[in-house]
Amino acid sequence: MTTLQFNTNINCGNCIKSVTPFLNALESIEAWEVDTNNPEKVLTVNTEETAATVEAAVLDALQQAGFKAAVRP
């Protein structure tokens, strides 16, 4: 399993509700969670797919949901 992390602007429970249908629609994601207590609002994604493919899909899904994200270094 590969774990990917993204810095986002998802900062509350309502934001998480907004992104849930977009992230749950990605079949390449096994599980995901957002740490809204972290100042960088870290989204953690677990996947069995290649990192580059999933990173692009997650970034696109978050953009469609109206949020910003960047892959954590």
Question: Residue 16 pLDDT more than 90?
Answer: yes
Q: Where are the domains of the chain?
A: 2-71
Predicted local distance difference test score (pLDDT) of residue 23: 98
**pLDDT per residue as tens digits for the range 35-69:** 999 999 999 999 999 899 999 999 999 999 999 99
CA atoms within 13 A on the CB side of 68: 2
CA atoms within 13 A on the CB side of 43: 27
Q: What share of the chain is helix, strand, coil (3-state, %, to 5)?
A: 35, 30, 35
* Sheet containing strand 29-35, strands side by side: 29-35, 42-47, 2-8, 69-71
Predicted local distance difference test score (pLDDT) of residue 73: 86
CATH of domain 2-71: 3.30.70.100
